[in-house]
Amino acid sequence: MSAAERNRLIVRTSIVGIAANLLLAGFKAAVGILSHSIAITLDAVNNLSDVLSSTVTIVGAKLGGKRPDREHPMGHGRAEYLSALVVAGIILYAGITAATESVKKILEPVKPSYSAVTLMIVASAIIVKLLLGRYVSAQGRKANSPALQNSGKDASFDAVISASVLLSAIIYLTAGIALEAWVGLLIAVFIIKSGIEMTSETLDDILGRRADPDTVKRIKQLLTEEPEVRGAYDLFLYNFGPDRDYASVHLELPDTMTVEQTDLLTRRVQMKVFKETGVVLTGVGVYSYNTRSDEAAEIRNKVQQAVLSHQWALQLHAFYADTEAKTMRFDVVMSFDISHKEGLEILHRELGELYPGYDITIAPDIDISG
């Protein structure tokens, strides 16, 4: 799907949501006022907040679809995360407002007056919201739009809210017990909870979350399929909005490869990764490994055994030893249980005792991609 097609899909879906929610809000507001039902009235207000959410989603899609410029060379895709955050904020505000009004009605109750028409309208709203939620969620997944997926979740949840309102009305008509203010408060609690969860998920996207393990595994698999590549390490993924993923990586290559051979390999894997995953491999660094010294291979095995004896040392890679110059270098991936400074002090002390006279260079890495 092209960027233009994606934007059209988001806008079209949002317009459907706006039309449906305006219709539902109008009916519910009229019924809520006539029946003196705080729960139905709050449900109508919730539909109006959905209208605003869909409007924000359209604005976010338009901003996110803008072409890169001098100030934003990586594009404006992250604007969609901001729109998703605004949608979550609207939902949160609607929940707090609903809670406030419900508490007022609990303290100063007003008896509702339901009718068959009231129940039919609320029941119809449940069906409409269920269908709308499924439609918007499916389109949101198709377009990979966080804001649209949030709106879809909210619409599906609204169906549950309307069902609660319908249940409270039935209980009042059959048993004469007015629970709708309490139902309104319960609805508000769930709306607030939903808003907080959506805010947390969107903030994770903005701040930067750990890369998807399946994507990481697939990229490394594609890279290590190349016969020259012994390992792929330090895979960093950078997200600049939905479907805008970039990455950098280090490849471990034999020390006999020329610069020309490395250049050809780099271009080949960049194209391969993009075709298979859609991720743009912007940077490919290289590590060399020993191929002409049995002594270096033996040193590597002993160093690896010593390093990985520590639980906080997750991986050793990029090892290279020059037995004539008495130097060795390698990277160690450390867990978050130890500081790099402390880990390096331990490793330098232990390896210095194993290989006195060697100049040892250790680069600490973090467990960035799993």
- 34 contacts: CB under 8 Å, gap ≥ 6: 113, 118
CA distance 17 to 23: 10
Identify the structural domains of the chain with CATH numbers, from first to last.
3-207 (1.20.1510.10), 213-366 (3.30.70.1350)
In this model, does residue 273 exceed pLDDT 90? Answer: yes
**Cα 231 to Cα 289: distance, rounded to the nearest angstrom:** 10
* Mean of the per-residue pLDDT values of the chain: 84
Q: Is the pLDDT of residue 364 over 80?
A: yes
Q: What is the pLDDT of residue 1?
A: 61
Q: Which pLDDT score is estimated for 129? A: 84
Looking at residue 69, its pLDDT comes to 76
Q: Provide the pLDDT for residue 144.
A: 80
Q: Do the Cβ atoms of 265 and 228 come closer than 8 Å?
A: yes
CB atoms within 10 A of CB 21: 26
Q: Residue range 33-50: average pLDDT? A: 75
Question: Does 24 score more than 60 pLDDT?
Answer: yes
Work out the angle at residue 163's Cα, subtended by the Cα atoms of residues 158 and 165, and round it to the nearest 5 degrees.
95
Confidence of residue 254 (pLDDT cuts 50, 70, 90): very high
Nearest Cα to Cα of residue 335 among 313, 319, 320, 354: 313
Mean pLDDT to the nearest integer, 275-303: 90
212-241 per-position pLDDT tens digit: 788 889 999 999 999 999 999 989 888 777
Q: What is the pLDDT of residues 325-336, one digit of tens each?
A: 999 999 999 998
For residues 166-178, average pLDDT: 79
Most confident region among 137-151, 283-297, 308-322 by mean pLDDT? 308-322
Residue 369 predicted with pLDDT over 60: no
Which run of H or of E encompasses 363?
A: strand 359-366
CB 180 within 8 A of CB 37: yes
Closest by CA position to 239, among listed 197, 273, 282:
282
Output the pLDDT for position 370.
Answer: 53
Q: Give percent above pLDDT 70 in the chain.
A: 98
What three-state secondary structure class fits 136?
helix
Beta bridge partners of 285: 250
pLDDT band at 268 (very low <50, low <70, confident <90, very high): very high
Dihedral of CA atoms 89, 95, 101, 107 in degrees, nearest 10, equals: -130
Q: What is the pLDDT of residue 39?
A: 66
- Entry field: residues in the chain: 370
Summarised one tens digit per residue, pLDDT across range 56-108 is: 778 777 777 777 777 777 777 777 777 778 878 877 887 887 788 778 878 87
Dig out the tokens for 150 from the structure.
């949030």
Confidence category of residue 354, pLDDT binned at 50, 70, 90:
very high
Residue 361 backbone dihedrals phi, psi, to 5 degrees: -115, 120
Q: In the predicted model, what is the mean pLDDT of residues 345-356?
A: 94
User: Phi-psi category of 210—alpha, beta or left, where left has phi over 0 and alpha has psi -120 to 50?
Assistant: beta
Mean pLDDT of 105-133: 80
Nearest in space to 296 (alpha carbons), one of 320, 268, 274? 320
* Contact assessment for residue 370 and residue 345, using Cβ atoms and an 8 Å cutoff: no
